[in-house]
Amino acid sequence: MIRRLLPLATLLVATVAHAAERKQPNIVLIFADDHAYQAISAYGDPRKLIETPNIDRIGREGMRFDRCLVTNSICGPCRAVVLTGAYSHVNGFVNNSNSRFDGSQITFPKLLKTAGYQTAMIGKWHLESDPTGFDFWQILYGQGVYYNPPMNRLGERTPTNGYVTDIIADASLDWLKKRDKTKPFMLMTQHKAPHREWSPALRHLDHDKDRKYPEPATLMDDYAGRGAAEKGQDMTIRNTFTQLDAKLTTPPSLNAEQRAEWEKYYGPRNAKFQEANLTGDDLVRWRYQRYMHDYLGCVRAVDEAVGRVLKFLDDEGLAENTIVIYTSDQGFYLGEHGWFDKRWIFEESIRTPLLVRWPGNTKPGSATRALVSNVDFAETFLDIAGVPIPDRMQGRSLVPVLRGQTPADWRKSFYYQYFEYPTPHRVAPHYGVVTDRYKLIHFTGGTGTTDYWELFDLQKDPSELKSVIDDPAYRDTRATLEKELTRLRTELKVPAEIPAMWHANPPGAGKKKQQKKS
């Protein structure tokens, strides 16, 4: 891996010269939004929520990463980290409330483009500014909508008709068919699904035949054994679920034909729910079942889209020279701790799925517990293409891991920091260090407290139910982790004082009024 502190112009010249020395593989990054690893069958969730044969195929023919962590578990910041290979405090996109991506900074698509790659970005962008470094882009406006979403195609508003996942897949395949076949390509095909409010394709409304899903053991969590942050959040199925989340409100973007099909499915079921007049735990259980039906219905369409891309690569004879990556912006809660959403340093949130197929380099059916991250993606793509890696990037190429040769000095600890507060979910700002066994967390404000610490032992407490921060048996462990946390913050150049605007998101500021809760 080459890391040099060079001016951008010098770096670009070096990129062209270095890339010319080797044949460059194609790169396809398939990126979902809020796709929990629990909802990918390759990860073996005990609830067996869904089968995802096409996504699983990537892992079966390549490598499954079991400890891929994100630096800041929220949509926009994760996308900025992937593009820049740098933490939020370096790339400047720290939250979804008042950040705007600086498209003039170094990104891996820019460097690949300079090295002779065709580059395309299709789907959910969610970074406020227009994409840079791409020969072609067609993106959703903001979060986008599930049905008939307007798209921004190279600066021109473009109407569409249909389901958003299918539309993104169609546009991705259309670009692949029309590309310059004399050049290597890098395609980022980025789905909206399964982001809230989890609206399935109409063909998938009856996908599970009214299956009753097993509940997570912590669905009714009361947050005993933890602090004010966990108790003061606002992201529970019990209290935060809206009418639209529950499909008691019909999405406004449906056309008349689509609306009729939607209401044919949900209408009788919603009437039965209203008649039951559920309250308390019974209402939570009903919402959980509706949530799983809808969320997993969205995942089915994403899996189909993945299958279409893989088939195209097979049919065109491109598979052997194309690295395919499937991942998500971060993890997501599927009822664990009574939650949906993400944001936390806790496992279901910080851990994102990652499956990679690289023919001739990665052993089929392999898996690793190496501690890797989305901050490593940019460096990996550049290394694969034979492009010098800028010193500004803070991750590390996954190439040796993918080749089954994880270096002896691979990271044993990982730094995490979340900023956005108080809306939309009142998750307190926090930072911490993660190892294979422990998490040391510093909550820095909000939700009834100003400053406190927690420590979790994942080996003894995998569900992260009881902080042992004050347990004398963990005194030495805490001291070791505090020292490591200080080292990481210094190495990553984390500011000692966080600007107030990085946290600030006043309730209601620039946000649509919340839907009435069901």
Position 267 scores a pLDDT of: 98
Domain boundaries, the chain: 3-38+56-199+292-411
Using an 8 Å Cβ cutoff, are 413 and 188 in contact? no
Task: Flag residues of the chain having pLDDT under 70.
Answer: 1-22, 505-518
Position 78 scores a pLDDT of: 98
Position 503 scores a pLDDT of: 82
Position 447 scores a pLDDT of: 75
Cα 452 to Cα 509: distance, rounded to the nearest angstrom: 28
In this structure, which topology does domain 3-38+56-199+292-411 adopt according to CATH? Alkaline Phosphatase, subunit A (3.40.720)
Position 200 scores a pLDDT of: 98
Q: Bridge partners of 418? A: 430
Position 2 scores a pLDDT of: 38
Structure tokens at 516: 């009435």
Angle made by CA atoms 80, 145, 212, in degrees to the nearest 5? 100
In the chain, count H helices and then E strands: 14, 20
Position 22 scores a pLDDT of: 56
Q: Bridge partners of 206? A: none
Q: Residue 122 belongs to what H/E stretch?
A: strand 118-123
Question: Who contacts 33 (Cβ-Cβ below 8 Å, separation ≥6)?
Answer: 75, 124, 190, 191, 192, 193, 194, 195, 328, 329
Structure tokens at 126: 């969610």
Position 14 scores a pLDDT of: 52
Cα 516 to Cα 518: distance, rounded to the nearest angstrom: 6
Per-residue model confidence as pLDDT tens digits over 177-217: 999 999 999 999 999 999 999 999 999 999 999 999 999 99
